[in-house]
A and B are shown apart, each in its own frame.
Chain A
Protein backbone atom coordinates (compact mmCIF):
# COMPACT_ATOMS: atom_id res chain seq x y z
CA UNK A 1 0.00 0.00 0.00
CA UNK A 2 1.47 3.36 -0.87
CA UNK A 3 1.60 5.88 1.92
CA UNK A 4 -1.25 8.44 1.73
CA UNK A 5 -1.19 11.98 2.98
CA UNK A 6 -3.55 13.03 5.67
CA UNK A 7 -6.74 14.70 4.32
CA UNK A 8 -6.19 18.04 6.08
CA UNK A 9 -2.68 18.45 4.74
CA UNK A 10 -3.78 17.57 1.17
CA UNK A 11 -6.45 20.29 1.27
CA UNK A 12 -4.02 22.88 2.50
CA UNK A 13 -1.62 22.04 -0.31
CA UNK A 14 -4.42 22.25 -2.82
CA UNK A 15 -5.41 25.65 -1.53
CA UNK A 16 -1.84 26.87 -1.76
CA UNK A 17 -1.57 25.59 -5.34
CA UNK A 18 -4.82 27.27 -6.30
CA UNK A 19 -3.65 30.54 -4.78
CA UNK A 20 -0.33 30.28 -6.58
CA UNK A 21 -2.03 29.50 -9.91
CA UNK A 22 -4.51 32.33 -9.39
CA UNK A 23 -1.71 34.73 -8.52
CA UNK A 24 0.35 33.73 -11.54
CA UNK A 25 -2.69 34.01 -13.86
CA UNK A 26 -3.38 37.44 -12.40
CA UNK A 27 0.21 38.50 -12.96
CA UNK A 28 0.01 37.24 -16.57
CA UNK A 29 -3.16 39.23 -17.12
CA UNK A 30 -1.61 42.25 -15.43
CA UNK A 31 1.55 41.98 -17.46
CA UNK A 32 -0.50 41.56 -20.62
CA UNK A 33 -2.56 44.61 -19.79
CA UNK A 34 0.58 46.58 -19.03
CA UNK A 35 2.40 45.41 -22.16
CA UNK A 36 -0.48 46.03 -24.59
CA UNK A 37 0.12 49.27 -26.39
CA UNK A 38 -2.30 51.16 -28.60
CA UNK A 39 0.34 51.15 -31.34
CA UNK A 40 2.77 48.34 -31.92
CA UNK A 41 5.23 47.89 -34.75
CA UNK A 42 5.43 44.19 -33.92
CA UNK A 43 1.72 43.68 -34.55
CA UNK A 44 1.97 45.64 -37.81
CA UNK A 45 5.03 43.58 -38.80
CA UNK A 46 3.09 40.36 -38.15
CA UNK A 47 0.21 41.49 -40.40
CA UNK A 48 2.72 42.72 -43.00
CA UNK A 49 4.49 39.36 -43.01
CA UNK A 50 1.22 37.45 -43.36
CA UNK A 51 0.01 39.72 -46.18
CA UNK A 52 3.28 39.33 -48.05
CA UNK A 53 3.24 35.53 -47.66
CA UNK A 54 -0.38 35.43 -48.81
CA UNK A 55 0.42 37.52 -51.91
CA UNK A 56 3.58 35.57 -52.75
CA UNK A 57 1.58 32.31 -52.56
CA UNK A 58 -0.66 33.69 -55.30
CA UNK A 59 2.37 33.33 -57.62
CA UNK A 60 2.28 37.01 -58.54
CA UNK A 61 5.97 36.86 -59.35
CA UNK A 62 5.17 34.95 -62.55
CA UNK A 63 4.76 38.33 -64.21
CA UNK A 64 8.55 38.72 -63.87
CA UNK A 65 8.88 35.91 -66.39
CA UNK A 66 6.79 37.93 -68.86
CA UNK A 67 8.94 40.96 -68.08
CA UNK A 68 12.14 39.01 -68.76
CA UNK A 69 10.77 37.59 -72.02
CA UNK A 70 9.67 41.07 -73.09
CA UNK A 71 13.14 42.46 -72.46
CA UNK A 72 14.98 39.66 -74.23
CA UNK A 73 12.65 39.74 -77.25
CA UNK A 74 12.97 43.51 -77.40
CA UNK A 75 16.75 43.30 -77.16
CA UNK A 76 16.99 40.74 -79.98
CA UNK A 77 14.66 42.72 -82.22
CA UNK A 78 16.42 46.01 -81.56
CA UNK A 79 19.83 44.63 -82.51
CA UNK A 80 19.08 45.74 -86.09
CA UNK A 81 18.95 49.40 -85.04
CA UNK A 82 21.91 51.62 -84.13
CA UNK A 83 23.22 51.45 -80.55
CA UNK A 84 21.58 54.75 -79.53
CA UNK A 85 18.22 53.66 -80.92
CA UNK A 86 18.58 50.23 -79.35
CA UNK A 87 19.35 51.58 -75.89
CA UNK A 88 16.60 54.18 -76.02
CA UNK A 89 13.97 51.60 -77.04
CA UNK A 90 15.29 49.08 -74.50
CA UNK A 91 15.05 51.64 -71.70
CA UNK A 92 11.63 52.86 -72.80
CA UNK A 93 10.21 49.34 -73.02
CA UNK A 94 11.76 48.24 -69.70
CA UNK A 95 10.71 51.28 -67.69
CA UNK A 96 7.28 51.39 -69.36
CA UNK A 97 6.75 47.70 -68.52
CA UNK A 98 8.03 48.33 -65.00
CA UNK A 99 5.56 51.18 -64.59
CA UNK A 100 2.54 49.24 -65.91
CA UNK A 101 3.38 46.02 -64.04
CA UNK A 102 3.92 47.80 -60.73
CA UNK A 103 0.73 49.87 -61.11
CA UNK A 104 -1.30 46.79 -62.04
CA UNK A 105 0.20 44.79 -59.20
CA UNK A 106 -0.51 47.60 -56.72
CA UNK A 107 -4.17 47.82 -57.78
CA UNK A 108 -4.93 44.10 -58.17
CA UNK A 109 -3.06 42.95 -55.06
CA UNK A 110 -4.56 45.64 -52.79
CA UNK A 111 -8.10 45.33 -54.17
CA UNK A 112 -8.42 41.74 -52.98
CA UNK A 113 -6.97 42.12 -49.46
CA UNK A 114 -10.04 43.22 -47.44
CA UNK A 115 -12.69 41.32 -49.49
CA UNK A 116 -10.65 38.11 -49.18
CA UNK A 117 -10.17 38.54 -45.44
CA UNK A 118 -13.94 39.08 -45.10
CA UNK A 119 -14.67 36.04 -47.26
CA UNK A 120 -12.26 33.81 -45.32
CA UNK A 121 -13.42 35.38 -42.02
CA UNK A 122 -9.76 35.97 -41.13
CA UNK A 123 -10.55 39.62 -40.44
CA UNK A 124 -12.86 38.63 -37.54
CA UNK A 125 -10.20 36.57 -35.79
CA UNK A 126 -7.64 39.35 -36.27
CA UNK A 127 -9.86 42.19 -35.10
CA UNK A 128 -11.26 40.10 -32.21
CA UNK A 129 -7.75 40.22 -30.77
CA UNK A 130 -6.50 43.55 -29.38
CA UNK A 131 -5.45 44.77 -32.85
CA UNK A 132 -6.66 48.28 -33.68
CA UNK A 133 -8.11 48.76 -37.13
CA UNK A 134 -5.49 51.31 -38.16
CA UNK A 135 -2.77 48.73 -37.44
CA UNK A 136 -4.61 46.17 -39.53
CA UNK A 137 -4.76 48.61 -42.48
CA UNK A 138 -1.14 49.70 -42.02
CA UNK A 139 0.01 46.09 -41.94
CA UNK A 140 -1.96 45.24 -45.06
CA UNK A 141 -0.61 48.24 -46.99
CA UNK A 142 2.94 47.61 -45.79
CA UNK A 143 2.67 44.03 -47.09
CA UNK A 144 1.70 45.30 -50.55
CA UNK A 145 4.43 47.96 -50.47
CA UNK A 146 6.99 45.29 -49.60
CA UNK A 147 5.76 43.14 -52.46
CA UNK A 148 6.00 46.12 -54.83
CA UNK A 149 9.51 46.91 -53.60
CA UNK A 150 10.64 43.31 -54.19
CA UNK A 151 9.06 43.25 -57.65
CA UNK A 152 10.59 46.55 -58.71
CA UNK A 153 13.98 45.47 -57.36
CA UNK A 154 13.79 42.22 -59.35
CA UNK A 155 12.70 44.05 -62.53
CA UNK A 156 15.41 46.70 -62.10
CA UNK A 157 18.04 43.99 -61.63
CA UNK A 158 16.90 42.20 -64.80
CA UNK A 159 16.85 45.43 -66.76
CA UNK A 160 20.28 46.57 -65.55
CA UNK A 161 21.84 43.16 -66.25
CA UNK A 162 20.49 43.22 -69.81
CA UNK A 163 21.64 46.81 -70.29
CA UNK A 164 25.09 45.91 -69.00
CA UNK A 165 25.35 42.83 -71.25
CA UNK A 166 24.28 44.78 -74.37
CA UNK A 167 26.67 47.60 -73.49
CA UNK A 168 29.52 45.14 -73.02
CA UNK A 169 28.83 43.47 -76.39
CA UNK A 170 28.60 46.82 -78.18
CA UNK A 171 31.79 48.14 -76.53
CA UNK A 172 33.66 45.10 -77.85
CA UNK A 173 32.16 45.55 -81.31
CA UNK A 174 33.06 49.26 -81.29
CA UNK A 175 36.63 48.53 -80.21
CA UNK A 176 37.00 46.05 -83.08
CA UNK A 177 35.43 48.43 -85.61
CA UNK A 178 37.45 51.49 -84.55
CA UNK A 179 40.83 49.81 -84.07
CA UNK A 180 42.40 51.89 -86.87
CA UNK A 181 41.21 55.28 -85.50
CA UNK A 182 43.05 57.73 -83.26
CA UNK A 183 42.81 57.03 -79.48
CA UNK A 184 40.77 60.24 -78.90
CA UNK A 185 38.26 59.19 -81.53
CA UNK A 186 37.97 55.71 -79.99
CA UNK A 187 37.51 57.30 -76.56
CA UNK A 188 34.80 59.58 -77.87
CA UNK A 189 32.97 56.70 -79.58
CA UNK A 190 33.08 54.70 -76.35
CA UNK A 191 31.99 57.73 -74.32
CA UNK A 192 28.96 58.27 -76.59
CA UNK A 193 28.07 54.59 -76.41
CA UNK A 194 28.31 54.47 -72.62
CA UNK A 195 26.41 57.74 -72.22
CA UNK A 196 23.51 56.39 -74.25
CA UNK A 197 23.47 53.09 -72.31
CA UNK A 198 23.48 53.65 -68.56
CA UNK A 199 22.35 56.88 -66.97
CA UNK A 200 22.43 57.49 -63.20
CA UNK A 201 19.12 59.38 -63.49
CA UNK A 202 17.42 56.04 -64.11
CA UNK A 203 17.53 55.30 -60.36
CA UNK A 204 15.42 58.31 -59.27
CA UNK A 205 13.10 57.43 -62.16
CA UNK A 206 12.63 53.91 -60.78
CA UNK A 207 12.02 55.30 -57.26
CA UNK A 208 9.30 57.56 -58.68
CA UNK A 209 7.70 54.53 -60.40
CA UNK A 210 7.63 52.84 -56.98
CA UNK A 211 6.07 55.88 -55.30
CA UNK A 212 3.38 56.04 -57.96
CA UNK A 213 2.58 52.36 -57.35
CA UNK A 214 2.51 53.02 -53.56
CA UNK A 215 0.08 55.91 -54.06
CA UNK A 216 -2.16 53.69 -56.20
CA UNK A 217 -2.02 50.93 -53.56
CA UNK A 218 -3.09 53.33 -50.79
CA UNK A 219 -5.91 54.72 -52.93
CA UNK A 220 -7.05 51.17 -53.78
CA UNK A 221 -7.11 50.40 -50.05
CA UNK A 222 -9.33 53.44 -49.50
CA UNK A 223 -11.73 52.37 -52.26
CA UNK A 224 -11.78 48.75 -51.03
CA UNK A 225 -12.92 49.81 -47.56
CA UNK A 226 -16.36 50.62 -48.93
CA UNK A 227 -16.41 48.58 -52.17
CA UNK A 228 -18.75 45.61 -52.39
CA UNK A 229 -16.34 43.48 -54.46
CA UNK A 230 -12.77 43.57 -55.68
CA UNK A 231 -13.93 43.83 -59.32
CA UNK A 232 -15.66 47.10 -58.44
CA UNK A 233 -12.46 48.35 -56.76
CA UNK A 234 -10.31 47.42 -59.78
CA UNK A 235 -12.73 49.10 -62.21
CA UNK A 236 -12.85 52.28 -60.14
CA UNK A 237 -9.05 52.30 -59.92
CA UNK A 238 -8.69 51.88 -63.69
CA UNK A 239 -10.82 55.01 -64.13
CA UNK A 240 -8.86 56.81 -61.43
CA UNK A 241 -5.64 55.84 -63.24
CA UNK A 242 -6.80 57.39 -66.52
CA UNK A 243 -8.36 60.47 -64.93
CA UNK A 244 -5.31 60.93 -62.69
CA UNK A 245 -3.15 61.32 -65.79
CA UNK A 246 -5.47 64.06 -67.06
CA UNK A 247 -5.84 65.80 -63.69
CA UNK A 248 -3.06 68.30 -64.48
CA UNK A 249 -4.83 69.31 -67.72
CA UNK A 250 -8.15 69.74 -65.86
CA UNK A 251 -6.42 71.80 -63.15
CA UNK A 252 -4.74 74.08 -65.69
CA UNK A 253 -8.02 74.69 -67.55
CA UNK A 254 -9.82 75.35 -64.30
CA UNK A 255 -7.22 77.76 -62.94
CA UNK A 256 -6.25 79.54 -66.16
CA UNK A 257 -9.07 79.32 -68.70
CA UNK A 258 -12.14 81.34 -67.73
CA UNK A 259 -14.11 80.74 -70.92
CA UNK A 260 -16.15 77.67 -69.85
CA UNK A 261 -19.52 77.82 -68.11
CA UNK A 262 -19.90 77.29 -64.37
CA UNK A 263 -20.90 73.66 -64.87
CA UNK A 264 -17.72 72.89 -66.81
CA UNK A 265 -15.63 74.77 -64.28
CA UNK A 266 -17.29 72.94 -61.37
CA UNK A 267 -16.58 69.62 -63.05
CA UNK A 268 -12.93 70.56 -63.69
CA UNK A 269 -12.59 71.70 -60.08
CA UNK A 270 -13.98 68.39 -58.86
CA UNK A 271 -11.51 66.44 -61.03
CA UNK A 272 -8.61 68.63 -59.88
CA UNK A 273 -9.47 68.35 -56.20
CA UNK A 274 -10.63 64.75 -55.89
CA UNK A 275 -8.13 62.94 -58.12
CA UNK A 276 -4.36 62.58 -57.69
CA UNK A 277 -2.03 64.17 -60.25
CA UNK A 278 -0.37 61.04 -61.66
CA UNK A 279 1.35 62.97 -64.46
CA UNK A 280 3.78 64.35 -61.85
CA UNK A 281 5.04 60.79 -61.34
CA UNK A 282 5.70 60.20 -65.05
CA UNK A 283 9.29 61.31 -65.21
CA UNK A 284 10.90 58.25 -66.80
CA UNK A 285 9.72 59.21 -70.31
CA UNK A 286 11.98 62.25 -70.24
CA UNK A 287 14.73 60.65 -68.15
CA UNK A 288 15.18 57.99 -70.86
CA UNK A 289 15.41 60.79 -73.44
CA UNK A 290 18.38 62.15 -71.48
CA UNK A 291 16.76 64.81 -69.28
CA UNK A 292 18.56 65.05 -65.95
CA UNK A 293 16.41 65.21 -62.83
CA UNK A 294 17.66 67.76 -60.26
CA UNK A 295 17.89 66.45 -56.69
CA UNK A 296 15.48 69.06 -55.27
CA UNK A 297 12.87 68.23 -57.89
CA UNK A 298 13.23 64.52 -57.18
CA UNK A 299 12.94 65.09 -53.41
CA UNK A 300 9.84 67.27 -53.79
CA UNK A 301 8.15 64.70 -56.04
CA UNK A 302 9.10 61.89 -53.64
CA UNK A 303 7.73 63.81 -50.64
CA UNK A 304 4.49 64.47 -52.53
CA UNK A 305 4.21 60.72 -53.25
CA UNK A 306 4.69 59.89 -49.55
CA UNK A 307 2.13 62.54 -48.50
CA UNK A 308 -0.41 61.14 -50.98
CA UNK A 309 0.12 57.61 -49.65
CA UNK A 310 -0.20 58.72 -46.00
CA UNK A 311 -3.34 60.79 -46.61
CA UNK A 312 -5.07 58.00 -48.51
CA UNK A 313 -4.14 55.56 -45.74
CA UNK A 314 -5.59 57.98 -43.16
CA UNK A 315 -8.81 58.32 -45.18
CA UNK A 316 -8.98 54.52 -45.51
CA UNK A 317 -8.74 54.32 -41.71
CA UNK A 318 -11.55 56.90 -41.29
CA UNK A 319 -13.71 54.82 -43.64
CA UNK A 320 -12.77 51.50 -42.05
CA UNK A 321 -13.07 52.66 -38.44
CA UNK A 322 -16.83 52.93 -38.47
CA UNK A 323 -17.45 50.05 -40.87
CA UNK A 324 -19.72 47.32 -39.54
CA UNK A 325 -18.15 43.94 -40.15
Chain B
Protein backbone atom coordinates (compact mmCIF):
# COMPACT_ATOMS: atom_id res chain seq x y z
CA UNK B 1 0.00 0.00 0.00
CA UNK B 2 2.83 2.38 0.91
CA UNK B 3 4.52 1.52 -2.38
CA UNK B 4 1.41 2.52 -4.34
CA UNK B 5 1.15 5.75 -2.39
CA UNK B 6 4.79 6.49 -3.26
CA UNK B 7 4.19 5.72 -6.96
CA UNK B 8 1.08 7.89 -7.07
CA UNK B 9 2.92 10.72 -5.30
CA UNK B 10 5.80 10.44 -7.77
CA UNK B 11 3.30 10.54 -10.64
CA UNK B 12 1.78 13.73 -9.23
CA UNK B 13 5.23 15.27 -8.69
CA UNK B 14 6.12 14.48 -12.31
CA UNK B 15 2.75 15.95 -13.35
CA UNK B 16 3.48 19.17 -11.44
CA UNK B 17 6.95 19.44 -12.95
CA UNK B 18 5.74 18.98 -16.51
CA UNK B 19 2.64 21.17 -16.16
CA UNK B 20 4.25 24.48 -17.09
CA UNK B 21 6.46 22.82 -19.75
CA UNK B 22 3.45 21.24 -21.46
CA UNK B 23 1.41 24.46 -21.27
CA UNK B 24 4.31 26.36 -22.89
CA UNK B 25 4.81 23.65 -25.53
CA UNK B 26 1.08 23.69 -26.38
CA UNK B 27 1.31 27.46 -26.88
CA UNK B 28 4.33 26.99 -29.15
CA UNK B 29 2.44 24.34 -31.13
CA UNK B 30 -0.47 26.73 -31.56
CA UNK B 31 1.74 29.57 -32.70
CA UNK B 32 3.20 27.20 -35.32
CA UNK B 33 -0.43 26.55 -36.47
CA UNK B 34 -0.83 23.14 -34.80
CA UNK B 35 -4.00 22.11 -32.89
CA UNK B 36 -6.11 24.93 -34.38
CA UNK B 37 -9.34 22.93 -34.49
CA UNK B 38 -11.93 23.96 -31.92
CA UNK B 39 -14.08 20.93 -31.18
CA UNK B 40 -17.29 22.23 -29.59
CA UNK B 41 -20.72 20.87 -28.86
CA UNK B 42 -22.15 22.14 -32.17
CA UNK B 43 -19.67 19.91 -34.00
CA UNK B 44 -20.59 17.00 -31.70
CA UNK B 45 -24.20 17.36 -32.92
CA UNK B 46 -23.10 17.39 -36.54
CA UNK B 47 -20.69 14.47 -36.64
CA UNK B 48 -22.29 12.20 -34.07
CA UNK B 49 -20.92 10.72 -30.88
CA UNK B 50 -18.62 8.19 -32.53
CA UNK B 51 -17.14 10.71 -34.95
CA UNK B 52 -16.62 13.19 -32.11
CA UNK B 53 -14.92 10.53 -30.00
CA UNK B 54 -12.66 9.64 -32.93
CA UNK B 55 -11.86 13.32 -33.49
CA UNK B 56 -10.95 13.73 -29.82
CA UNK B 57 -8.78 10.62 -29.85
CA UNK B 58 -6.30 11.76 -32.42
CA UNK B 59 -8.16 10.85 -35.61
CA UNK B 60 -9.42 14.35 -36.37
CA UNK B 61 -8.04 14.44 -39.91
CA UNK B 62 -9.47 11.01 -40.72
CA UNK B 63 -12.96 12.12 -39.63
CA UNK B 64 -12.44 15.30 -41.67
CA UNK B 65 -11.55 13.19 -44.73
CA UNK B 66 -14.69 11.11 -44.30
CA UNK B 67 -16.77 14.32 -44.19
CA UNK B 68 -14.91 15.60 -47.26
CA UNK B 69 -15.57 12.39 -49.23
CA UNK B 70 -19.25 12.52 -48.20
CA UNK B 71 -19.35 16.13 -49.40
CA UNK B 72 -17.87 15.00 -52.73
CA UNK B 73 -20.63 12.38 -53.08
CA UNK B 74 -23.29 14.96 -52.11
CA UNK B 75 -21.88 17.29 -54.78
CA UNK B 76 -22.19 14.54 -57.40
CA UNK B 77 -25.87 14.28 -56.40
CA UNK B 78 -26.18 18.10 -56.35
CA UNK B 79 -27.45 18.08 -52.74
CA UNK B 80 -26.21 21.58 -51.99
CA UNK B 81 -27.49 21.85 -48.41
CA UNK B 82 -25.69 18.64 -47.51
CA UNK B 83 -22.53 19.81 -49.30
CA UNK B 84 -22.56 22.97 -47.15
CA UNK B 85 -23.01 21.08 -43.85
CA UNK B 86 -20.37 18.48 -44.66
CA UNK B 87 -17.84 21.11 -45.71
CA UNK B 88 -18.49 22.98 -42.47
CA UNK B 89 -17.65 19.78 -40.60
CA UNK B 90 -14.54 19.10 -42.67
CA UNK B 91 -13.20 22.63 -42.29
CA UNK B 92 -13.93 22.74 -38.54
CA UNK B 93 -12.10 19.46 -38.02
CA UNK B 94 -9.18 20.31 -40.29
CA UNK B 95 -8.85 24.10 -40.46
CA UNK B 96 -5.27 23.90 -41.77
CA UNK B 97 -6.28 22.15 -44.96
CA UNK B 98 -6.34 24.83 -47.65
CA UNK B 99 -7.88 22.30 -50.01
CA UNK B 100 -11.03 21.92 -47.87
CA UNK B 101 -11.64 25.68 -47.63
CA UNK B 102 -10.94 26.16 -51.32
CA UNK B 103 -13.20 23.31 -52.44
CA UNK B 104 -15.98 24.41 -50.08
CA UNK B 105 -15.86 27.95 -51.46
CA UNK B 106 -15.71 26.73 -55.06
CA UNK B 107 -18.74 24.46 -54.60
CA UNK B 108 -20.74 27.25 -52.97
CA UNK B 109 -19.76 30.32 -55.00
CA UNK B 110 -19.48 28.66 -58.38
CA UNK B 111 -21.37 25.34 -58.57
CA UNK B 112 -24.24 25.91 -56.13
CA UNK B 113 -24.78 29.54 -57.22
CA UNK B 114 -24.98 28.53 -60.90
CA UNK B 115 -27.29 25.63 -60.00
CA UNK B 116 -29.50 28.12 -58.10
CA UNK B 117 -29.83 30.28 -61.19
CA UNK B 118 -31.41 27.27 -62.98
CA UNK B 119 -33.39 25.94 -60.03
CA UNK B 120 -36.89 25.00 -61.26
CA UNK B 121 -38.30 25.14 -57.71
CA UNK B 122 -37.54 28.84 -57.44
CA UNK B 123 -40.53 30.52 -59.05
CA UNK B 124 -39.05 33.79 -60.26
CA UNK B 125 -35.79 35.48 -61.18
CA UNK B 126 -35.65 37.58 -58.02
CA UNK B 127 -35.61 34.45 -55.87
CA UNK B 128 -33.01 32.86 -58.11
CA UNK B 129 -30.80 35.95 -57.85
CA UNK B 130 -31.25 35.99 -54.09
CA UNK B 131 -30.28 32.31 -53.81
CA UNK B 132 -27.32 32.89 -56.12
CA UNK B 133 -26.08 35.81 -53.99
CA UNK B 134 -26.47 33.76 -50.84
CA UNK B 135 -24.34 30.96 -52.22
CA UNK B 136 -21.65 33.43 -53.34
CA UNK B 137 -21.70 34.93 -49.84
CA UNK B 138 -21.28 31.44 -48.38
CA UNK B 139 -18.29 30.83 -50.64
CA UNK B 140 -16.79 34.18 -49.60
CA UNK B 141 -17.36 33.33 -45.93
CA UNK B 142 -15.52 30.00 -46.34
CA UNK B 143 -12.53 31.76 -47.90
CA UNK B 144 -12.43 34.52 -45.29
CA UNK B 145 -12.51 32.00 -42.45
CA UNK B 146 -9.92 29.92 -44.30
CA UNK B 147 -7.60 32.94 -44.49
CA UNK B 148 -8.04 33.58 -40.75
CA UNK B 149 -6.90 30.02 -40.09
CA UNK B 150 -4.16 30.03 -42.73
CA UNK B 151 -2.78 33.57 -42.97
CA UNK B 152 0.60 32.22 -44.08
CA UNK B 153 -0.59 30.58 -47.31
CA UNK B 154 -1.24 32.41 -50.59
CA UNK B 155 -3.78 30.00 -52.18
CA UNK B 156 -6.84 31.23 -50.28
CA UNK B 157 -6.01 34.91 -50.92
CA UNK B 158 -5.83 34.02 -54.62
CA UNK B 159 -9.18 32.21 -54.50
CA UNK B 160 -10.87 35.08 -52.66
CA UNK B 161 -9.39 37.52 -55.17
CA UNK B 162 -10.83 35.43 -58.03
CA UNK B 163 -14.21 35.38 -56.31
CA UNK B 164 -14.18 39.19 -55.95
CA UNK B 165 -13.14 39.54 -59.57
CA UNK B 166 -15.46 37.02 -61.22
CA UNK B 167 -18.50 36.91 -58.93
CA UNK B 168 -18.63 40.38 -57.33
CA UNK B 169 -16.87 42.40 -60.02
CA UNK B 170 -14.81 44.11 -57.31
CA UNK B 171 -11.40 44.73 -58.90
CA UNK B 172 -10.13 46.86 -55.99
CA UNK B 173 -10.59 44.01 -53.48
CA UNK B 174 -9.17 41.52 -56.00
CA UNK B 175 -6.05 43.67 -56.55
CA UNK B 176 -5.56 44.08 -52.80
CA UNK B 177 -5.87 40.32 -52.19
CA UNK B 178 -3.54 39.36 -55.05
CA UNK B 179 -1.00 41.85 -53.66
CA UNK B 180 -1.33 40.31 -50.18
CA UNK B 181 -0.81 36.84 -51.66
CA UNK B 182 2.24 38.08 -53.60
CA UNK B 183 3.79 39.43 -50.39
CA UNK B 184 3.86 35.96 -48.83
CA UNK B 185 7.13 33.97 -49.10
CA UNK B 186 5.61 30.93 -50.81
CA UNK B 187 3.57 32.91 -53.35
CA UNK B 188 3.90 32.09 -57.06
CA UNK B 189 5.26 34.74 -59.44
CA UNK B 190 1.88 35.19 -61.15
CA UNK B 191 0.32 36.91 -58.10
CA UNK B 192 2.23 40.16 -58.75
CA UNK B 193 1.07 40.07 -62.36
CA UNK B 194 -2.55 39.41 -61.39
CA UNK B 195 -2.49 42.24 -58.84
CA UNK B 196 -1.32 44.60 -61.59
CA UNK B 197 -3.98 43.32 -64.04
CA UNK B 198 -6.76 43.96 -61.49
CA UNK B 199 -5.37 47.41 -60.77
CA UNK B 200 -5.47 48.19 -64.50
CA UNK B 201 -9.29 47.71 -64.49
CA UNK B 202 -9.74 50.23 -61.67
CA UNK B 203 -10.66 53.76 -62.72
CA UNK B 204 -8.30 56.27 -61.11
CA UNK B 205 -5.48 53.77 -60.60
CA UNK B 206 -4.20 53.72 -64.19
CA UNK B 207 -0.83 55.33 -63.42
CA UNK B 208 -0.16 52.93 -60.53
CA UNK B 209 -1.20 49.96 -62.71
CA UNK B 210 0.95 51.17 -65.62
CA UNK B 211 4.04 51.44 -63.40
CA UNK B 212 3.48 47.97 -61.95
CA UNK B 213 2.96 46.42 -65.39
CA UNK B 214 5.95 48.25 -66.86
CA UNK B 215 8.19 47.01 -64.04
CA UNK B 216 7.09 43.45 -64.78
CA UNK B 217 7.53 43.96 -68.54
CA UNK B 218 11.08 45.22 -68.00
CA UNK B 219 11.99 42.08 -66.05
CA UNK B 220 12.35 40.17 -69.29
CA UNK B 221 10.77 37.92 -71.90
CA UNK B 222 9.30 35.47 -69.36
CA UNK B 223 6.96 38.18 -67.99
CA UNK B 224 5.76 39.42 -71.39
CA UNK B 225 2.60 37.35 -71.50
CA UNK B 226 -0.35 38.19 -73.83
CA UNK B 227 -2.62 39.71 -71.11
CA UNK B 228 0.24 41.80 -69.71
CA UNK B 229 1.09 43.15 -73.17
CA UNK B 230 -2.57 43.92 -73.95
CA UNK B 231 -3.16 45.75 -70.65
CA UNK B 232 0.13 47.65 -70.92
CA UNK B 233 -0.65 48.75 -74.48
CA UNK B 234 -4.14 49.90 -73.38
CA UNK B 235 -2.73 51.91 -70.46
CA UNK B 236 0.01 53.49 -72.60
CA UNK B 237 -2.67 54.79 -74.89
CA UNK B 238 -5.00 55.86 -72.09
CA UNK B 239 -2.26 57.68 -70.15
CA UNK B 240 -0.78 59.14 -73.39
CA UNK B 241 2.70 57.91 -72.56
CA UNK B 242 5.33 59.59 -74.82
CA UNK B 243 6.16 57.39 -77.80
CA UNK B 244 9.84 57.00 -76.95
CA UNK B 245 8.94 55.68 -73.47
CA UNK B 246 6.37 53.17 -74.69
CA UNK B 247 6.88 49.43 -74.88
CA UNK B 248 4.38 49.16 -77.75
Contact = CB atoms under 8 A, between A and B. Distances in A.
Interface in A294-322: 294, 297, 300-301, 304, 307, 311, 315, 318-319, 322
A100 B58 CA distance: 9
Nearest to B97: A289
Contacts of A184: 222
A64 to B, nearest CB: 19
Nearest to A254: B19
Contacts of A251: 19, 22-23
B57 A245 contact: yes
Contacts of B234: none
Given A89-B68, A89-B69, A290-B153, A315 B59 contact: no
B97 A88 contact: yes
A315 B7 contact: yes
Interface stretch (A28-36, A50-58, A145-153, A277-285): A277-285
Contacts of A290: 96-98, 153
A88 B99 contact: yes
Interface of A is mostly: helix
Q: How large is the interface on B (under 10, 10 to 19, 20 to 34, 35 or more residues)?
A: 35 or more
The 9 closest A-B pairs by CB, nearest first: A273-B15, A289-B96, A285-B61, A289-B97, A96-B62, A92-B61, A282-B58, A286-B34, A92-B65
Contacts of B92: none
B35 interface: yes
Interface of A: 81, 84-85, 88-89, 92-93, 96, 99-100, 184, 188, 226, 241-242, 245-246, 248, 251-252, 255, 272-274, 277-280, 282-286, 288-294, 297, 300-301, 304, 307, 311, 315, 318-319, 322
Contacts of B28: 297, 300
B121 interface: no
A321 to B, nearest CB: 8
A81 B98 contact: no
B38 to A, nearest CB: 11
B81 interface: no
A286 B96 contact: yes
Contacts of A274: 8, 11-12, 15
Nearest to B58: A282
Contacts of B3: 318-319, 322
Given A96-B62, A286-B34, A188 B10 contact: no
Contact of B12 (A85, A252, A273, A292): A273
A3 B145 CA distance: 109
Contacts of A241: 57
Q: Which of A286, A290, A319 has the most CB of B within 10 A?
A: A286
Interface in B12-31: 12, 14-16, 18-19, 21-23, 25-26, 28-29
Contacts of A252: 23
Interface in B91-106: 94, 96-99, 103
Contacts of B153: 290
Contact of B61 (A100, A284, A297, A307): A284
B65 A88 contact: yes
Interface in B50-84: 53, 56-62, 64-65, 68-69, 72
Interface string B190-204: 000000000000000
7 contacts: A93-B65, A286-B34, A286-B36, A289-B94, A291-B34, A311-B14, A315-B11
A318 B58 contact: no
Contacts of B15: 272-274
Contacts of A93: 62, 65
B56 A242 contact: yes
Nearest to B34: A286
Nearest to B15: A273
A100 B53 CA distance: 14
Nearest to A311: B14
B7 A318 contact: yes
A280 B23 CA distance: 10
B110 interface: no
Contact of A279 (B35, B59, B94): B35
Contact of B56 (A245, A292, A294): A245
A273 B32 contact: no
